[in-house]
Structure 1
């Protein structure tokens, strides 16, 4: 009787390719995978275009579109027009659009005229052609207010990176500015002060750099639908989420971050008008490392020193976004704005 080994030896010689997938099958699998990816990406792109068109129909602009020279900016003003100056102008954080100010704008409008707007390429505004740094954003806002016949002087309210933009505006157009409110404003030093701060900025910039590509195939829209509610009322909550899913908005956010070094350089030496009423409102909960939290507090103190007529209020437990998006914390932001409005009207200095 032959042993198993002798039988194998006497038969067909074993192939060297035994156990391997034939090359033809590998190619077929690769082609199938690539085809599936092409279909998936194409379907995502169609979904993004179609959903954006539906959003534009379901979420129309609540304000008016004002031509500022080659493109239009969305401006939404509310509140009485017969209470005297100043007019409050709201400058949002990165990616924030008019609906983000729902709580704040409604609170201010009971006492003063207040205007929110969408920067070029965000919300209901057309994309612009200028780089989105502080100098160009301030110039566009100046053109918008004058083209729209919004009476000055203004109390400028800047939230997050919007704080840098209003500081630049106040430096370039000081005669327009009656007061300034900085809501947990960004600092010109936040990306250069320490290695950990620089690393955090690099990480954020890298994340936003890939978002436009993901937006074009619908990924950011799907991820946005899975996020928790913003804290805003309806319909502002739905309006803001719809705007945040648009490809042009994500393009603009990435562009503003790319322009951030230029913005920091421009604002670093910017000055406020002498003795202008200044209110700095600082949150305490940024969910970041303790050393960065301490740095943030120091930067807020530095910004409070920009005017001799100032008040600095720290809101314990408030976060960077809750000062605007949360109903309760937004009331504190409203109070800070109205305090500056009252100081402008009375000519009295801000209280302690």
Structure 2
């Protein structure tokens, strides 16, 4: 009997039968092909990529390591370097400024540091003045140990008073904001004895003058050392050519020298401090925090250490750059306030100029001409005296003579006010 065939469909399988390896040498299975070796071009491309990655890694280490080390050192140094007589006072909205006051007697002498400098420039003059009267010095916003200023109205969001709104309209590092900072520090945060003898140097004399026009009743007099004039950086239409940044400073006018030499150099210091290169340069002896080697012999060690600290401090360097960058705006503010309110004519004013240095350079001639204009037209009642030296370093190198000249102004005010010497 024949067998019956099974009904139904036969299941199909997807499994493939593996190919048997060939016994012949050199013959590859179609199912198991080996990858082709990289071509010479691919090898070169891979080598270049590897080289670029290595270079990027080295570059990252060069940038990141000095930055991290610098910030770590700055945090450690700051705690130890704050002056013993310095106190951080809140001038409003959480912003703090460092103030140092010593001595007793009127008027209170307020020492304003030169542009971009900390109050340490007065470190040798302050103790000499404090023997005869009260003297205060401070770090402007962002400089030294003081906080940066708030930049916009949103940072005053918790206080929408009229004072906060007015404050928010002023710009950081302009003379208007700096004069307001000083007034808040001396009159609200600490209430220093009045009146004040305001002492400024070079561009910081704008702050002394601006403060006087706003708060005339608080000021006993001005002592302006090597003052700048507010039209120093104005464009000169009589100039036939515009000097380039490659020209020597002696051939540049003040606008060109300021914009192509001075401001870029301060900007470079800021960038160098931000990435830690300045600290490396100081450590290996390629850079010095002292403007003159001779200062090492006359400055206290704590002042030298602070100068090194501030040279490596991005906050300080960026604030110095901002003061310079905003100088045109500050000068315009000085001009505007003179138009709104005449400068007080009966105020005792001393204009002290430096008698040394190269008086034949174009920059020096322009600076001197501006000082003559200041004393003859803007401040005709001022008294002119000479100090040894050629720039703000005289505050270190000739501190005794500077202190004597300031104390002379103090004694003259006391005689006029019939106060005991």
Please give the TM-score of this superposition, normalised by the length of structure 2.
0.71
1:204 matched residue in structure 2: 262
Q: Does 1:294 align with 2:365?
A: yes
133-142 or 258-267: bigger deviation: 258-267
Aligned residues: CA RMSD:
2.4
140-149 or 61-70: bigger deviation: 61-70
How has the CA–CA distance of structure 1 residues 218 and 288 changed in structure 2, closer, same or farther, with 3 Å as cutoff? farther
Separation in 1, partners of 2:197, 2:304: 26
Separation in 2, partners of 1:193, 1:264: 13
Contact 1:215 1:245 survives alignment (8 Å)? yes
How has the CA–CA distance of structure 1 residues 223 and 300 changed in structure 2, closer, same or farther, with 3 Å as cutoff? farther
| Aligned partner of 2:97 among 57, 73, 77 | 73
2:272 matched residue in structure 1: 214
| Aligned partner of 1:95 among 111, 116, 126 | 116
CA drift at 1:310: 2.3
334-343 or 240-249: bigger deviation: 240-249
Separation in 1, partners of 2:62, 2:348: 55
Separation in 2, partners of 1:279, 1:223: 41
Name which one, 1 or 2, has greater alpha-carbon Rg. Answer: 2
Identify unmatched segments of 5+ residues in structure 1. Answer: 1-16
Contact 2:116 2:321 survives alignment (8 Å)? no
Separation in 1, partners of 2:206, 2:149: 19
| Aligned partner of 1:135 among 176, 181, 184 | 176
2:231 matched residue in structure 1: 189
- What SS does the aligned partner of 1:188 have? coil
1:264 matched residue in structure 2: 331
Please give the TM-score of this superposition, normalised by the length of structure 1.
0.84
1:275 matched residue in structure 2: 346
1:9 matched residue in structure 2: none
- What SS does the aligned partner of 1:207 have? helix
How has the CA–CA distance of structure 1 residues 47 and 286 changed in structure 2, closer, same or farther, with 3 Å as cutoff? farther
Separation in 2, partners of 1:307, 1:197: 23
1:2-13 equivalences in 2 (<5 Å): none
Contact 2:119 2:139 survives alignment (8 Å)? yes
Separation in 2, partners of 1:86, 1:96: 24
| Aligned partner of 1:86 among 77, 85, 107 | 107
2:15 matched residue in structure 1: none
